[in-house]
Amino acid sequence: MPILTELNLYPIKSCGGIALREATLTAAGLMSEHVYDREWMVVDAHGEFLTQRSCPRMTLVTPRIKADTLELRAPGMMRLEIPLDLPDPDEAPTLEVRVWGDTVKAYDCDDTTAAWFSNVLGQPCRLVRFHPHASRHASRKWTGGVEAPTLFADGYPMLVISEASLEDLNGKLRAQKREALSMNRFRPNIVISGVEAYEEDYADRLTIGSAALKPVKPCARCNVPSVDQATGVIGPDPLDILQTYRANPKVDGGITFGMNAILLEGEGQVVRVGQEVDVSLAFA
């Protein structure tokens, strides 16, 4: 029986993640202690989103959820505390920010926070928080018409990868005398064991307790898996191996690894590491 082996929350887009023992499923992604996946985002001086693609040091910003703050740490910096309570929507400063093709309203975190991130990343930037009046949705072309909200994720609420898929890739890397990669290089929200390599590609539904997730779009990969998530150092890019067998015509030949997923049923359902996952396949 397939088993849920990892749950990972990324409060700030492209920054460090939090490994969870349990999480709440929402239509917009995983949530823990009222902190949502990719609820915050770093933007440059023009309001454009920043990621590890151009700022690999973002991985060195490590979050921890406390009683009423999100604590952030980075090498050589004092700890920073971000309030978890939402500000007054009528009084708090806002910005129009861009993430891929979307322009959305966001709360502007304060100048102290902006200075902290600017020091860490070595460029002017600000931290913003998704505004409750803002709206982003996954492409209905891929969701089959389902309205699937998302916050600052690249495009979909959740990313699912199987352990067997990573082991298959690592076997090919080892065969070339290269180091195996850890799962965090691919930044999944949900990791499952007990299925064959890339079986998630063909899953029609993942049922966990009373909740149902649907993988909808293969995840086309960029250079982020080349970033060591512990050090922020760029190393060999596994795309040269993946491109030999993971070019996917469904996404115009993009190199895919993992599946973007949406929630079909079970809003508010708590899922736990070690829980059984029923994987229904659809070889369409």
Look up residue 85 and give its two tokens: 């309570």
Residue 284, pLDDT score: 52
* Confidence band, pLDDT 50/70/90 cuts, at residue 141: very high
pLDDT in tens, 225-275: 999 999 999 998 999 999 999 999 999 999 999 999 999 999 999 999 999
* Confidence band, pLDDT 50/70/90 cuts, at residue 283: low
Give mean pLDDT, residues 115-140.
Answer: 96
| Domains with residue ranges and CATH for the chain | 3-32+147-281 (2.40.33.20), 39-130 (no CATH)
Give mean pLDDT, residues 119-123.
Answer: 97
Task: Give the neighbor-by-neighbor strand order of the sheet with 62-65.
Answer: 62-65, 69-73, 80-83
For residues 259 and 281, what is the distance between their CA atoms, to the nearest angstrom? 13
Q: Is the pTM of this model over 0.85?
A: yes
pLDDT in tens, 7-38: 999 999 999 999 999 999 999 999 999 999 99
pLDDT in tens, 68-117: 999 999 999 999 999 999 988 778 899 999 999 999 999 999 999 999 99
Q: Are strands 278-281 and 125-130 parallel, antiparallel or unpaired?
A: unpaired
Residue 282 has pLDDT above 90, yes or no: no
Residue 87, pLDDT score: 87
Closest-CA residue to 245 (of 191, 172, 186): 172
CB atoms < 10 A from the CB of 96, how many?
Answer: 11
Are the beta carbons of 19 and 7 closer than 8 angstroms?
yes
pLDDT in tens, 162-187: 999 999 999 999 999 999 999 999 99
Q: Can you say whether the dihedral through the CA atoms of 151, 257, 220, 139 is positive or negative?
A: negative
For residues 96 and 109, what is the distance between their CA atoms, to the nearest angstrom? 13
